[in-house]
């Protein structure tokens, strides 16, 4: 796999840079970059584990994954802030101030853990390079084919909001895996997947904001009702567009 080692090295370089930058400037984009790079590396780790089940579970991976999950609350809060600004919604209630204070404490806790996470990252990089060196083109093609089949099944059965969100997550995993060796999936097909992923993402953002507003200011129905109407229309449009992919 000619591109594998270089691709992994670039992913880890970007991940480390994000982790080193975040405690200095608390930039939401640095945290976002760490999370994106970890998801890409996680996709390759799961690929290697699928192709070679004898690969032992990485303690370093589990440690980074735990940190990733803990960072989710901060990232969710960052997204909420962006969505409030995008939808021109201003909140000055005590609950919003409490949520912001909780976020700041979480940021401090994350920053304290970063030196230990950087150590785990070094170990995980060595393990992943070693494990992915055993991959073959046939194994990757089979894995991607299985992932596409899972996506297609969910596209044909978009019964609930959870299924639509699952489709988006599955597409991301598929894309992250395919990025390592371009050519395994047709560009036209990837483009259609990306469009679908973006549309589901925009729809899901509205659900996230609705949940937040319901928790913070349930009595302020005007923005909530507007978002409910928009999300319902978006969901219907997405489900109709899925018919073209069946």
pLDDT tens-digit profile of 168-184?
Answer: 989 998 889 888 877 77
Q: Which residue has the higher pLDDT, 72 or 162?
A: 72
Cα–Cα distance for residue pair 200/87, rounded to 1 Å: 18
Cα–Cα distance for residue pair 228/203, rounded to 1 Å: 10
When pLDDT is cut at 50, 70 and 90, the band that residue 116 belongs to is very high
Query: Mean pLDDT for the chain?
Result: 90
Residue 192 CB burial class (10 angstroms; 0-12, 13-18, ≥19): middle
The predicted structure's pLDDT at residue 92: 76
Q: What is the mean pLDDT of residues 83-91?
A: 88
User: Model pTM greater than 0.85?
Assistant: yes
For 184-203, what is each residue's pLDDT tens digit? 788 888 888 888 889 999 99
pLDDT at 87 exceeding the cut of 80: yes
């Amino acid at each position: 796999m000619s591109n594998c080692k270089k691709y992994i090295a670039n992913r880890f370089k970007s991940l480390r840079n994000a982790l080193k930058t975040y405690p200095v400037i608390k930039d939401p984009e640095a945290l976002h970059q760490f999370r994106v790079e970890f998801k890409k590396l996680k996709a390759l780790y799961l690929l290697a584990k699928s192709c070679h089940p004898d690969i032992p579970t990485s303690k370093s991976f589990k440690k980074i994954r735990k940190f990733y999950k803990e960072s989710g609350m901060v990232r969710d809060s960052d997204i909420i802030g962006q969505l409030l600004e995008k939808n021109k919604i201003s909140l000055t209630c005590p609950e919003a101030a409490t949520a912001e204070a909780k976020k700041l404490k979480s940021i401090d806790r994350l920053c304290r853990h970063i030196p230990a996470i950087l150590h785990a990252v070094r170990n995980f990089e060595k393990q992943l390079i070693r494990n992915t060196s055993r991959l073959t083109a046939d194994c990757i093609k089979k894995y991607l084919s299985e992932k596409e089949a899972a996506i297609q099944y969910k596209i044909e059965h978009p019964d609930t909001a959870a299924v639509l969100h699952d489709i988006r997550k599955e597409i991301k995993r598929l894309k992250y895996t395919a990025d390592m060796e371009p050519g395994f999936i047709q560009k036209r097909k990837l483009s259609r997947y990306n469009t679908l992923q973006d549309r589901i993402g925009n729809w899901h953002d509205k659900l996230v904001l609705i949940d937040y507003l319901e928790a913070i200011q349930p009595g302020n129905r005007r923005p909530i009702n507007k978002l409910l109407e928009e999300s319902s229309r978006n969901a219907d449009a997405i489900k109709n567009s899925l018919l073209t992919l069946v």
